[in-house]
Amino acid sequence: MRAEVPVIPTYDRMMYQALQALKALGGSETNNELLSKVIEVMQLPDSVAALIHTDNRSTRVAYNLAWAKTYLKKVGALESGGRGVWALTAAGETMSPDDVARIPATVRKQDVRRTTDDPSVETSVQAMQSNAAPPEDSWRDIVLTALQRMEPAAFERLAQRLLREAGFTKVEVTGRSGDGGIDGVGVLRLGLLSFQTLFQCKRYQGTVGAGAVRDFRGAMVGRSDKGLVITTGTFSSDARREATRDGAPPIELIDGDELCTLLKNHRVGVRTELVEQVIVDTSWFKTI
């Protein structure tokens, strides 16, 4: 018998589901939490949700959802903040399935007007056909490519630096073989309390599964109740469920997308620059 080919939902099929997921989440959410909710709403099995895109950075579902969000943003249905948070607008709140179905045509018309003004501009359709990242994610691709080219020891030192910038103290990289996958330890102080936290670095291009989370938790036993797994890849739905399983010490998961955001927010190898934009109000001159 021929193996059944998994069906990956296209970006246009995911747009309305993204709106519904955001409504269920209270109107705003981070990239990772929105992705998890869309997978839940669309009832996508892990065999589909875990398939890696050809960019070797994200899953195919995450890639298509990123384009869905880009299209929704272009028509004013979503807005995004600087910390990877997406929020429904008043327009997005009231959109019907028929309204959403018309969005691709609307964006194509916008692209035509833009390319008429500047033929060198790449349209959204051309970008998707070339497997380019959505505009929101292009800088993240550059960061993740650089991270994936690092030596394992260098990536561990980067995690050490990031944790220090995030408020951890006494951060040490151990990285000893036979240490159950524990790469380092740090202390996070919250008010009067301090928590020793063990961390693991996974410089992956693919998906980290539930087994890796269970193994890491096993290595934590008797050493710490707080754990952190950092990867350049993604985490499967099972891994996320395992990380917060009832009755077990919770483990914080930072995937490639969130890692990029943290590097930018703490200015570790990534910085933002304000660009001056000059706008000429030609109508004003006519009033003189």
Please give the mean pLDDT across all residues of the chain: 84
Model pLDDT, residue 238:
85
Model pLDDT, residue 161:
94
Is the pLDDT at 277 greater than 90? The verdict is: no
Model pLDDT, residue 175:
67
- Could you report the per-residue pLDDT of 157-211, keeping only the tens digit for each? 999 999 999 999 999 998 665 556 788 999 988 888 888 999 999 887 778 888 9
Per DSSP, the chain holds a count of helices (H) and strands (E) of 14, 10
Average pLDDT over residues 27-43: 85
The one-character DSSP state at 4 is P
Domains (range + CATH), the chain: 11-134 (1.10.10), 150-265 (3.40.1350.10)
- Could you report the per-residue pLDDT of 99-141, keeping only the tens digit for each? 999 999 998 888 777 677 666 656 666 666 656 667 666 778 7
- DSSP reduced 3-state for 208: strand
In this structure, the chain runs to a length of 288
Average pLDDT over residues 46-71: 83
pTM: 0.65
* Tokens standing for residue 255: 């995937």
What number of CA atoms fall less than 13 Å from residue 204's CA on the CB side?
Answer: 22
Paired residues of 95 in beta bridges: none
Percent of the chain with pLDDT strictly greater than 70: 85
